Each structure stands twice: as structure tokens, then as C-alpha cells.
Amino acid sequence: MSNVQLAWFKSSYSGTAGDNCVEVAVTEQAVRVRDSKDVTRPSLAVGRDSWTRFVAFSRGE
């Protein structure tokens, strides 16, 4: 995965001040999550089904 260029984008829940941001990148296998303040650290990979359940839970669905 390290040789692949990912298309990272900020979470819609990130503040406008630019701090405390989470970025995500979607691949065929997983959703990658990272802290935008330290992009050199490894990202977290979450299965797409698990990510969908997490987002639904976060929204209170």
C-alpha cells in the first residue's frame, strides 16, 4: 500500500480552524484514516463494511 498514491480528504466533521482534523481515503479493500496534523504516521485501515456501520452509528442511525 505504501507505493500507491491515495486521494485523502478531510472529514466533513473537521473544524474550520484546521485543527483536530481527520482525513480519509477510500480504496477497494478498505477506508484509510489518518490524523491530518501528522501525515507521516501510519494510517488506520478499516474494512468498508465496518466503516459503513461506524458512520451509521456516529450519525445515530
pLDDT at 10: 86
Q: Evaluate whether 29 touches 46 at the Cβ level (below 8 Å).
A: no
**The pLDDT value given to residue 25:** 95
Report whether 22 contacts 36 (CB < 8 A). Answer: yes
Q: Look at residue 26 and tell me if it is in a domain.
A: yes
19-54 confidence digits (pLDDT tens): 678 899 999 999 999 988 888 899 999 999 999 999
Domain interval for residue 18 = 9-58
d(CA 32, CA 30) in angstroms, rounded, equals 6
CA atoms within 13 A on the CB side of 16: 0
Mean pLDDT in residue range 3-20 = 74
If one counts the domains in the chain, the total is 1
Contact 20, 35 (CB under 8 A): no
The confidence score (pLDDT) of residue 51 equals 93
Say if 2 falls within a structural domain.
no
Residue 3 has pLDDT above 50, yes or no: no
**3-class DSSP state of 54:** helix
Q: What is the pLDDT of residue 37?
A: 85
